[in-house]
Structure 1
């Protein structure tokens, strides 16, 4: 119920924000046409004049034309107290048919620990497969945004258990995870004629049970044998991109996430006085939620090649540690 309530709150926030910007822009246009002598002439920016890479976090609701590729690698450092999690996340997408794009998202990582053993080497994380189908397409003068349904399946390819005394080698979750998202994108013209592009995305993720043996990313130790059931999660992202010039864009993501309880069940075998002793173990992470922002700047050499530099800041929240994540990404479409 809590996740549903937050979903409706996030949806209402997105509609209100987009509506506020639209109303302001429309009011300015009407006033200008009614009495042009009271306001200076405004040149309206065309959509072809605005070049984009996309904000740091919000996925696009667009799909690629058939036969075209998108290649977008991210490099980042998730900074939290005592840990730097360096990683790369690369979107490799292909326009399969009209309105449908498919792709893969490989992830690599390395954890550097201040107090403890860092990762033994760069490791491969969980691999995500995705497909996106576009439902509607935005047209100038219309109130209908571009909308799409996104389906992702994350495969447990990264190490997550049997980590021994180097838990920093854990880069995966061990469970198959399905994510279903609804993505939207809208173009708004500001009073100065420049374009403000908005995205509002909602998603939910559902994981299967993972078998866990030994020390793991779930906090179990070397003697544990059992299972982990990650909780369902909800995520909302409201993003804005302002076309400052044709090549330069200012971007901002505002995010909310909620994760329900993760439950670990099993047996922990410890040696006491030289004899093995088995103890039933049940662990609960409890639900968590977090709020974040991700300001970024984009520079585009051409309509199809651009770079983004930004920082995601998670303020923490209930049962969540705050993090700061500087990142850089290259966006290439061909």
Structure 2
């Protein structure tokens, strides 16, 4: 019987699919989330390296302008463990480092930490429907910074929630996998700010930052050229609601209030996957913002290795 695989996750097709779908191995696209793992005791790890090069910014009307920003490199490791056949635990620790733009480098920084539970309602991996629920822990630097480049956190606890669906179907005698998702983060606390912060305050400031919700939604396509080689494409939208900052500059006794505008960014992410086996693969590609407003435009080159245990 032919099968569909994501890492070592083997998906048993229906009787009709058995005659139509070739055996296909996947690593997963650059950005899309994946369903809860299908078998208790399974574990997955996917270390990424991402380099971000600033290439401008979008203003409030969507026009592209020059932007002074630093080049950055990030390492994050997607980790997942199947508690049951339907419930998985997800964790994404991230480190980053930035430099350039005539500003002191940030040093290696540990970012805010997302973790969540993922529950798959369907008994199979494809088609599937999964819901996410978890938190973002405020462990990244965000206040009393030496310079703004050190800001890699928001200083607030946030609830993470979302939905995900996945389907594999035959396309010109090859396997095509489609993923659709929507994920959001709702802050449930405020951040105490001192001096330079990731909220844009300067030295001498004392006050609080109220972060707005953030999220993303999109779709990914993965087309199997051969059993081992896959072309992937992400199409997704990032958004962030307004942040509110209130406080006082101590030396001048000047009260400060600012409310940022909503921001949005549409991205495309072409990539190429190669899978050595159903248990291990690799992916490399680039994520490019193509439109947006009130947002930085950064070209991101990414590569990752995926392993299933």
Q: TM-score, normalised by structure 2?
A: 0.86
Equivalent residue in structure 2 for 1:103, among 90, 101, 110 = 90
**C-alpha distance after superposition, 1:213-234 (max 9, x if no partner):** 1101111011111111111124
Cα pair 2:38 2:124 within 8 Å, conserved = no
Equivalent residue in structure 2 for 1:204, among 184, 192, 201 = 184
**C-alpha distance after superposition, 1:115-166 (max 9, x if no partner):** 21111x21211112111000114588xxxx30000123111111111113x2
In structure 2, relative to structure 1, the CA distance for the partners of 1:149 and 1:139 (3 Å cut) is closer
The alignment status of 1:252 with 2:228, answered yes or no, reads no
Distance in 1, matches of 2:72 and 2:29, equals: 21
Task: Tell me what 1:155 maps to.
Answer: 137
Cα pair 1:138 1:186 within 8 Å, conserved = no
Distance in 2, matches of 1:83 and 1:152, equals: 31
Task: Tell me what 1:219 maps to.
Answer: 200
Gaps of 5+ in 2: 1-15, 56-68
CA RMSD of superposed structures (Å): 1.7
The alignment status of 1:284 with 2:271, answered yes or no, reads no
Which 4+ runs in 1 deviate beyond 6 A? none
**C-alpha distance after superposition, 1:21-80 (max 9, x if no partner):** xxxxxxxx9xxxxxxxxxxxxx8333xx10000111110124242111101111001211
Distance in 1, matches of 2:117 and 2:125, equals: 24
Equivalent residue in structure 1 for 2:277, among 302, 306, 314 = 302
Gaps of 5+ in 1: 1-28, 30-42, 271-276
**C-alpha distance after superposition, 1:157-193 (max 9, x if no partner):** 11111113x2212221111111111000001211x21
Distance in 1, matches of 2:141 and 2:206, equals: 16
The alignment status of 1:183 with 2:185, answered yes or no, reads no
In structure 2, relative to structure 1, the CA distance for the partners of 1:68 and 1:107 (3 Å cut) is same
The alignment status of 1:86 with 2:82, answered yes or no, reads no
The alignment status of 1:125 with 2:106, answered yes or no, reads no
Cα pair 1:62 1:146 within 8 Å, conserved = no
Task: Tell me what 1:51 maps to.
Answer: 25
Query: RCO greater where, 1 or 2, for CA within 8 Å and sep 6 or more?
Result: 2
Q: Report how far residue 235 of structure 1 moved.
A: 1.6
Cα pair 2:116 2:160 within 8 Å, conserved = no
Q: Report how far residue 113 of structure 1 moved.
A: 2.0
Which secondary structure does the structure 2 equivalent of 1:157 belong to?
A: coil
Q: Report how far residue 316 of structure 1 moved.
A: 4.1
Distance in 2, matches of 1:68 and 1:203, equals: 24
Distance in 2, matches of 1:44 and 1:184, equals: 21
Distance in 2, matches of 1:136 and 1:314, equals: 34
Distance in 1, matches of 2:43 and 2:135, equals: 20
In structure 2, relative to structure 1, the CA distance for the partners of 1:175 and 1:112 (3 Å cut) is same
Q: TM-score, normalised by structure 1?
A: 0.80
Task: Tell me what 1:25 maps to.
Answer: none
**What count of residue pairs does the alignment treat as equivalent?**
278
- Answer 1 or 2: which has greater strand percent: 2
